[in-house]
Structure 1
Amino acid sequence: MADFEKLGATVVGISTDDIATLTDFQAKMQAPQRFVSDKDGTVTKSYGADLAGAAKRVTFVIGQDGKILYSYYDWSPLTNVNKVYAWLQAHPQNASPSVSLHS
């Protein structure tokens, strides 16, 4: 995540899992990013990332104005991370975006 921070991006994982599950996942994976529980699916649905009550593995780059600048959907979290990182490198004018990783 330090590489994303160097590009001015903040990474937040959003999941329909509950807080306890996300806390356990974060500890097991030693994941440095913040996680947010969207247990009722409100955020997931508002971004069109709902998948039968769960969240699609889709990544959004959200500008400071709240608009989606880029999105990428792949079942592989690593592919999502790599694609979004490459996009951020190619678009340095979009400094300080938020990157939302749905899982």
Structure 2
Amino acid sequence: MHTDNYTELLIKDRTSETDVERKALLLIFSTDDLFRKVTHLYDFKEHSIKPEALENGEVDLSSSSRKLVMAAFNLYNGHYKADICDTFAGLDDENFDLLIQAIKIRFNKDE
């Protein structure tokens, strides 16, 4: 379940309540697929993303997971430019809603 994965990631990272960039990133990484691969994408010791994982093929990602990671990196620090139409077009309903929630967190628009 995403909620349990998200809570686990926040605790492991010791994410500050006010760190909306990291909270948005970790919410996206809470999907079952990305949660299993999170150590390839994020360094919990250094509290930093690993963009090289997308470039060097270190981690095997489906096209939709890759789009989510690129969006997560973009929400975190703008590292990747994520085409909004391309990103959303390739997502199922669950991941579409997850990305909307991550955007709301990142921009403090959470209801």
Shared fold, TM over 0.5: no
TM-score normalised to structure 2 length:
0.31
Higher helix share: 2
TM-score normalised to structure 1 length:
0.32
